[in-house]
Chain A
Amino acid sequence: MGKVTAMMNLDARIPTGPIEEAWDSARFEMKLVNPANKRRHSLIVVGSGLAGASASATLGELGYNVKCFCFQDSPRRAHSIAAQGGINAAKNYQNDGDSIYRLFYDTVKGGDFRAREGNVYRLAQNSVHIIDQCVAQGVPFAREYGGSLDNRSFGGAQVSRTFYARGQTGQQLLLGAYQALERQVDTGQVTMIPRTEMLDLVVIDGQARGIVARNLITGKLTVHLAEAVILATGGYGNVYYLSTNAKGSNATAIWRAHRRGALFANPCFTQIHPTCIPVSGDYQSKLTLMSESLRNDGRIWVPKQKGDKRPPNEIPEDERDYYLERRYPSFGNLVPRDVASRNAKAICDEGRGVGETGLGVYLDLSDAIARLGVETIRERYGNLFDMYQRITDEDPYKVPMRIYPAIHYTMGGLWVDYQLQSNVPGLFVLGEANFSDHGANRLGASALMQGLSDGYFIIPYTVGNYLASTKLSKVTASHPEAQAALASTQQGVAKLLAIRGKRTVDSFHRELGKIMWDDCGMSRNAAGLKEAIGKIRALREEFWQNLNVTGSGDDLNQSLEKAGRVADFLELGELLCIDALERNESCGGHFREEYQTPDGEAQRDDEHFSYVAAWGYTGAGKPWDLTKEPLEFAYVHPSQRSYK
């Protein structure tokens, strides 16, 4: 019934044999679509970020008929545009010991042994082709004087494998993919449909065959059909309301697909970035990331004394606590994101946080300024310092910056197999929207790599294999399942407008975000999670009674758009907490207070939790079904991460 239900054994279709040859042999075994037949196949790509734009462009180049959707006015505005730091690739141009194997190893370990080895190895292999492709498109990566590509080390990696374009790497990579996409729009292979939001997945005979989408200008709902549907709609960090994500980032596309049967994997694996500008007031709409690279030269500290209100410059050296250096003598200020974030929270919970709200720690570059001079620091971090000063009106050359952790990235997402296909045949999921490669914690500069690997180098093969090996019947928009999806979407929109209650969408979203942050944020415990689940259910109930959306459904109505997204966050938030409660261990970004080592570090439990938690939707208000995909490690042996 327009939905995939029966949950069998999950087959991740990971190729057997040596990992180095797995992707090659998988490609060899894939069926090919005859070039002349490609134009007879139509595909839908939802999303125009790095994953969606690269997929649409490449599929267009191959000759498929592609329709690409995004909710912004132009595909170039996708959230990927905001990525700053860089993109990893195992080029080993620096001759410093990098290799595909090392990038693979680092990523599996960094993910705290909760990702599939096969997927990660392929990602590391593809990384080198990504750089070549982007350079050829005209992406202006940073260069050395001699003309070769420059690299930096990032996120505590011991090799320099990060390629970058000033502090705007995401922008330049996305513009490269966007331009490739516009080239295909020009040739007519790709039809770009902006300002249009997917609100439902059309499943016919158990196969994904299209979407229901709302034109955000006219309000019109339309069924779009295709032979396969590719979702590249980004992450769900905004379930926390305040995050570093763009305001429009949302989970609606993947959530509506989940409600049609697609499994949701590891929702509780969320990443908190340690260096963001602290919250300054209730009106705050989003959080701004300060690049991680600042930790290369900055020292993090708080006063030793609780409630010490003196300005930082008046606190003498011996009354400061450089807590990361104290607790982690070998990694110091460069511990991974999850460790740095948790420690900042713990310090502030003790009452030693700084700034007006007490939710902040100092990131101090004065030693580096004294050592290297203002000019060097300006060259390295000038644009970041400017941004900080623009927002806070404080001069970081003189006063230490205040930083606090913020939600940044979501490792969880729709479950996909090695072919990036969900458990719903014909539904593929790329980029941050899937759960695939980062396990319980993502390393810096790896999301851009994954999005482009999925879009440029994986989906073109795997979707072809699907089309060539699957019998697809002819369907039209008048098919009963398509019409049923259209009707239920129509009702959903009408329902939001009909409540006419007292509270705005943002007020619900903020309240949800606070519950999530307090009880399912940097550290979690069973009691808090249970309480959060209760609170979310109550809030959801109130939402459907007391929501106030003004205006109508037949023109541009931004609060109506938000209302639909928040309705989905209110369900996803609950599942996130359920998943966090079920996972009785600490790993990566998921820290359960009950499971820590005597000195307060994350305690993994490989014996019981070395699996992917894939959740199936069983109906509104009904408990989710859990299917476990066991993880096996044949190459990188699971060990306790230690940064002491």
Chain B
Amino acid sequence: MKVKLTIWRQKNPDSKGQFITYPVDVVNGEMSMLECLDVLNETLMGRGEEPVAFEHDCREGICGSCGFMINGIAHGPLPATTVCQLTMRHFKDGDELVLEPWRSRSFPLVKDLVVDRRSFDRIIQAGGYVSVSTGNAPDGNAIPVGKEIADRAMDAAACIGCGACVAACPNGSAALFTGAKIAHLGILPQGKPEQDRRAVRMVAQMNVEGFGSCTNIGECTGVCPKEIPLEEIARMNRDYLLGAWRERGNVVTAIAPVTDWNFGEK
């Protein structure tokens, strides 16, 4: 079978991008979307052209590296599936697929389908952890955690940080990603002591990064490869309101967003 891939090509943030269409032979249905791009890239390099830059690593749907829009849908048409796990049998001969990078103010473009998602790391830096240094821990069974609670925490903790939720949201909100972490840690007894501070700082950081606000549209959960539920956003809002009240008067320190790649060097 043959498909046409219309791909956003842009050499760097400063250059002008454009769509270019490439025909690709699909060997069999077991081939993944990324393997299709591999095949295309081999052809491009054979012609002396630059291959399409795209991110990937595990190719098992767990590292969160991969992701782009396929015909306007983040990670493509199959629910709960990253592009690395999207097999070509879901398309048919002659299909035309438009591949575009995540578009968000807070994910500046790097090249072709690659964007900069360091804003997510900074949201975690702002409190997405339990402050327990190595060596400080009590026995693992010292604090019982009910199965239902552990399962709920695990549901939220399954987020892979891919950014599809942001790309799908008309407001470019990072509420699902941030909410998932606030929920994961807030549900567990280990995360309780820092619940207020965490919610306040993480939400503040989300705003500093320029992510839009959540208006409950729900596109995010629809494209989320891990099916993180909207419930996590509700939990975030609750923790935030409560936290903002209880932490009032405390200064909230935000982390300065960095968009260059110099790592503090000239």
Taking a contact as CB atoms closer than 8 A, the residue among B48, B85, B134 that contacts A61 in the complex is B134
In the complex, whether B190 has a CB less than 8 A from a CB of chain A is yes
Contact B57 A79 (CB under 8 A): yes
Contact B58 A222 (CB under 8 A): no
Taking a contact as CB atoms closer than 8 A, the residue among A148, A186, A283, A559 that contacts B27 in the complex is A283
In the complex, whether B188 has a CB less than 8 A from a CB of chain A is yes
Contact B132 A284 (CB under 8 A): no
A617 to B111 alpha-carbon distance, docked (Å):
38
Given A73-B117, A179-B130, A136-B137 contact (CB < 8 Å): yes
In the complex, whether B59 has a CB less than 8 A from a CB of chain A is yes
Contact A149 B114 (CB under 8 A): no
Contact A136 B190 (CB under 8 A): yes
User: Which parts of A69-118 form the interface with B (CB within 8 Å)?
Assistant: 72-77, 79, 81-82, 91, 93
Give, as a whole number of angstroms, the nearest-CB distance from A452 to chain B. Answer: 10
Contact A556 B114 (CB under 8 A): yes
In the complex, whether A470 has a CB less than 8 A from a CB of chain B is no
**Stretch of A188-196, A201-209, A371-379, A513-521 on the interface side:** A188-196
Taking a contact as CB atoms closer than 8 A, the residue among B145, B160, B191, B261 that contacts A215 in the complex is B261
In the complex, whether A166 has a CB less than 8 A from a CB of chain B is yes
Mask, B239-266, CB within 8 Å of A = 1, is: 0000000000000000100000111110
Contact B154 A132 (CB under 8 A): no
Give, as a whole number of angstroms, the nearest-CB distance from A380 to chain B. Answer: 15
Give, as a whole number of angstroms, the nearest-CB distance from A141 to chain B. Answer: 7
Contact A172 B157 (CB under 8 A): yes
User: Which parts of A126-142 form the interface with B (CB within 8 Å)?
Assistant: 129, 131-138, 140-142
Chain B residue numbers with a CB within 8 Å of A129 are 135, 137
Give, as a whole number of angstroms, the nearest-CB distance from B82 to chain A. Answer: 11
Chain A residue numbers with a CB within 8 Å of B135 are 129, 133
Contact B147 A147 (CB under 8 A): yes
Give, as a whole number of angstroms, the nearest-CB distance from A556 to chain B. Answer: 5
Contact B134 A457 (CB under 8 A): yes
In the complex, whether B55 has a CB less than 8 A from a CB of chain A is yes
**Stretch of A361-369, A385-393, A606-614 on the interface side:** A385-393
Chain B residue numbers with a CB within 8 Å of A282 are 27
Contact B137 A247 (CB under 8 A): no
Contact A286 B59 (CB under 8 A): yes
Contact B30 A281 (CB under 8 A): yes
Chain B residue numbers with a CB within 8 Å of A550 are 44-45, 48-51
Contact A135 B140 (CB under 8 A): yes
A47 to B95 alpha-carbon distance, docked (Å):
41
Given A281-B30, A288-B60, A550-B50, A182-B45 contact (CB < 8 Å): no
Give, as a whole number of angstroms, the nearest-CB distance from B107 to chain A. Answer: 10
In the complex, whether A423 has a CB less than 8 A from a CB of chain B is no
In the complex, whether B1 has a CB less than 8 A from a CB of chain A is no
In the complex, whether B103 has a CB less than 8 A from a CB of chain A is no
Contact B145 A147 (CB under 8 A): yes
Given A140-B184, A142-B150, A548-B45, A132-B139 contact (CB < 8 Å): yes
Contact A283 B35 (CB under 8 A): yes
A373 to B125 alpha-carbon distance, docked (Å):
46
Mask, A543-555, CB within 8 Å of B = 1, is: 0000010110001
Given A73-B65, A194-B118, A247-B56, A285-B38 contact (CB < 8 Å): yes
Chain A residue numbers with a CB within 8 Å of B51 are 550-551, 558-559
Chain A residue numbers with a CB within 8 Å of B38 are 283, 285, 506
In the complex, whether B116 has a CB less than 8 A from a CB of chain A is yes
In the complex, whether A218 has a CB less than 8 A from a CB of chain B is yes
Give the one of A142, A175, A222, A506 with max B CB within 10 A.
Answer: A175
In the complex, whether A486 has a CB less than 8 A from a CB of chain B is no
Given A73-B116, A77-B64, A246-B58, A175-B157 contact (CB < 8 Å): yes
A382 to B223 alpha-carbon distance, docked (Å):
21
Chain A residue numbers with a CB within 8 Å of B30 are 280-281, 391-393
Main DSSP-derived SS at the B contact region: loop
In the complex, whether A334 has a CB less than 8 A from a CB of chain B is no
Give, as a whole number of angstroms, the nearest-CB distance from A159 to chain B. Answer: 17
In the complex, whether A171 has a CB less than 8 A from a CB of chain B is yes
Minimal Cβ-Cβ distance residue in B for A548? B45
Minimal Cβ-Cβ distance residue in B for A280? B30
Minimal Cβ-Cβ distance residue in B for A55? B134
In the complex, whether B211 has a CB less than 8 A from a CB of chain A is no
Taking a contact as CB atoms closer than 8 A, the residue among B35, B50, B81, B87 that contacts A285 in the complex is B35
Give the one of B38, B161, B261 with max A CB within 10 A.
Answer: B261
Give, as a whole number of angstroms, the nearest-CB distance from A234 to chain B. Answer: 11
Minimal Cβ-Cβ distance residue in A for B112? A556
In the complex, whether B220 has a CB less than 8 A from a CB of chain A is no
In the complex, whether A57 has a CB less than 8 A from a CB of chain B is yes
Taking a contact as CB atoms closer than 8 A, the residue among B27, B44, B150 that contacts A143 in the complex is B150
Chain B residue numbers with a CB within 8 Å of A559 are 41, 45, 51
Given A248-B57, A281-B27, A556-B111, A76-B126 contact (CB < 8 Å): no
**Could you tell me how many residues of chain A have their Cβ less than 8 Å away from some Cβ of chain B?**
85
Contact A136 B132 (CB under 8 A): yes
Taking a contact as CB atoms closer than 8 A, the residue among B46, B125, B134, B136 that contacts A185 in the complex is B125
Contact A57 B134 (CB under 8 A): yes
Chain A residue numbers with a CB within 8 Å of B136 are 136
User: Which parts of B127-144 form the interface with A (CB within 8 Å)?
Assistant: 128-141, 143-144
Give, as a whole number of angstroms, the nearest-CB distance from A395 to chain B. Answer: 14
Contact A148 B144 (CB under 8 A): yes
Contact A144 B147 (CB under 8 A): yes
Contact B140 A91 (CB under 8 A): yes
Minimal Cβ-Cβ distance residue in B for A555? B12
Give, as a whole number of angstroms, the nearest-CB distance from B91 to chain A. Answer: 13
Contact A182 B125 (CB under 8 A): yes
A578 to B191 alpha-carbon distance, docked (Å):
51
A136 to B65 alpha-carbon distance, docked (Å):
27
A555 to B14 alpha-carbon distance, docked (Å):
12
In the complex, whether A168 has a CB less than 8 A from a CB of chain B is yes
User: Which parts of A504-518 form the interface with B (CB within 8 Å)?
Assistant: 504, 506-507
In the complex, whether A484 has a CB less than 8 A from a CB of chain B is no
Contact B158 A168 (CB under 8 A): yes
Given A218-B261, A504-B46, A140-B154 contact (CB < 8 Å): yes
In the complex, whether A41 has a CB less than 8 A from a CB of chain B is no
In the complex, whether B231 has a CB less than 8 A from a CB of chain A is no
In the complex, whether B39 has a CB less than 8 A from a CB of chain A is yes
Chain A residue numbers with a CB within 8 Å of B110 are 217, 556
In the complex, whether B53 has a CB less than 8 A from a CB of chain A is yes
In the complex, whether B89 has a CB less than 8 A from a CB of chain A is yes
Given A77-B57, A81-B58, A179-B141 contact (CB < 8 Å): no
Chain B residue numbers with a CB within 8 Å of A246 are 57-59, 63
Contact A147 B144 (CB under 8 A): yes
Minimal Cβ-Cβ distance residue in B for A83? B62
In the complex, whether A15 has a CB less than 8 A from a CB of chain B is no
Chain B residue numbers with a CB within 8 Å of A74 are 64, 117-118, 120-121, 161
User: Which parts of B58-78 form the interface with A (CB within 8 Å)?
Assistant: 58-60, 62-65
Contact B31 A283 (CB under 8 A): yes
A367 to B235 alpha-carbon distance, docked (Å):
44
Chain A residue numbers with a CB within 8 Å of B23 are none
In the complex, whether A537 has a CB less than 8 A from a CB of chain B is no
Closest 4 pairs between A and B when the two form their complex, measured CB to CB: A147-B144, A179-B129, A136-B137, A132-B137
A-B contact pairs, 10 of them (CB 8 A): A57-B134, A58-B134, A77-B58, A129-B135, A138-B188, A145-B146, A218-B262, A248-B57, A548-B45, A555-B12
Could you list 13 further interchain pairs (A-B, Cβ under 8 angstroms) beyond the known A73-B65, A82-B62, A506-B38? A73-B117, A74-B161, A82-B63, A137-B132, A171-B62, A183-B129, A218-B262, A248-B57, A281-B31, A283-B27, A285-B35, A550-B51, A556-B110
Binding site for B on A (CB under 8 A): 54, 57-58, 61, 72-77, 79, 81-82, 91, 93, 129, 131-138, 140-149, 165-166, 168, 171-172, 175, 178-180, 182-183, 185-186, 191-196, 215, 217-218, 222, 246-248, 280-286, 288, 390-393, 456-457, 460, 504, 506-507, 548, 550-551, 555-556, 558-559
